[in-house]
Amino acid sequence: MNAASGGGRRLLTDEVLRQRGMTEPEADADKEGRGNVLVIAGSREVPGAALLTATAALRAGAGRLTIATPASVSMAIAIAMPEARVIALAERSSGGLGTEAASQLEDLASRIDACVVGPGLMDEDATVAFTQSLMERFSCPLILDAQAMTVLSLGTRPRGPVTVTPHAGEMAHLTGQAKPDVLANAQALASEYAQRWQAGVVLKGATTCIAFPDEPCWQHDGGDVGLATSGSGDTLAGLMVGLAARGIAPLDAALWAVRLHALAGERLTARHGRLGFLARELSDEIPAAMHRLCTGEDR
């Protein structure tokens, strides 16, 4: 495996990604050939999380998009995202997903190429119960974000590959560690829990650690404070699921998503400065960022 390494870690760079390559669809592929992606996200309080995640999935190159979201916000999301099929899920009075919501998606299990669960979902107990039920039905690559990640700390084991995307505070919650200890030992913790959970761990921060079971830990040092903005993590999760839907292996989907996300931030910083750009603007930068990473040429 080609990588730049140092100090027991593999450094994620543009050159490394070009060497690893990215699976490209055939020139005559239709939207099915570019992958079917399912985004389960949003709530009455945070409906925009579904839009941020779904937009990033399409910008990453996925061909067909389905959004499943609580019924109370489904119509607004459908209008805001005309590219998507939108499924209205049963919800509790708390705003969390109802126990029957996973069964509403059962018919999709054989047709979805990758799925992300969690951005903007409310009510942790409801989200955990829903995610556990979903994991019994779906064997495609799953990206778990926000409260959906809790299922792994409870011992739930997936049928297919899973990647989780915690920041340091969420990793502290999942592992019972203090946040300062997570920050001080990010690489070791990411590797330990990737093995323990048998899942990919993308531990986000100014330095992001990407660990997968039985793989060396990768480190990306190119994060910037401008990316520490509301909704940025939803965009990263969307990039990851969009790439996975295209048939890119979960580890490579994570590596490419982390670097694309950072490069989109770099492009916005060059135009606007380090602070003040919005998560919704990141996805617009992704096609040009992807072209640069694949070819070395700017657009």
pLDDT band of residue 270 (cuts 50, 70, 90) is confident
Q: What six digits make up the tokens of 262?
A: 């950072």
172 in a domain, yes or no? no
The share of the chain scoring above pLDDT 70, in percent, equals 93
Whole-model pTM: value is: 0.92
Q: What is the pLDDT of residues 90-136, one digit of tens each?
A: 999 989 998 899 999 999 999 999 999 999 999 999 999 999 999 99
Predicted local distance difference test score (pLDDT) of residue 4: 41
Query: What residues pair up with 67 in beta bridges, in sequence order?
Result: 39, 86
The order of strands in the sheet holding 208-211 is 4-6, 9-11, 218-220, 208-211, 200-203, 162-164, 142-144, 114-117, 36-40, 64-70, 85-89
Predicted local distance difference test score (pLDDT) of residue 156: 87
Measured between its terminal Cα atoms, the distance across the chain in Å is: 29
5 in a domain, yes or no? no
pLDDT band of residue 9 (cuts 50, 70, 90) is confident
Average pLDDT over residues 221-230: 77
Predicted local distance difference test score (pLDDT) of residue 22: 79
SS3 at position 40: strand
Average pLDDT over residues 241-255: 96
187 in a domain, yes or no? no
Q: What is the pLDDT of residues 105-117, one digit of tens each?
A: 999 999 999 999 9
Q: What is the CATH number of the domain that holds 276?
A: 3.40.1190.20
Predicted local distance difference test score (pLDDT) of residue 3: 41
Helix axes 286-295, 48-59, angle to 10 degrees: 30
144 in a domain, yes or no? yes
Q: What six digits make up the tokens of 119?
A: 């951005």
Average pLDDT over residues 30-58: 91
184 CB-near residues (< 8 Å, 6+ apart): none
In this predicted structure, the answer to whether residue 8 has a pLDDT above a threshold of 60 is: no
243 in a domain, yes or no? yes
239 in a domain, yes or no? yes
Tell me the one-letter amino acid at 27: A
Predicted local distance difference test score (pLDDT) of residue 184: 94
In this predicted structure, the answer to whether residue 39 has a pLDDT above a threshold of 70 is: yes
Predicted local distance difference test score (pLDDT) of residue 129: 95
50 in a domain, yes or no? yes
Q: How many CA atoms within 13 Å lie on the side-chain side of 58?
A: 16
Predicted local distance difference test score (pLDDT) of residue 219: 95
DSSP string, 69-89: EEHHHHHHHHHH-TTSEEEEE
258 in a domain, yes or no? yes
Residue 36: which domain range? 30-160+229-295
**Considering its fold, how many domains does the chain have in total?**
1
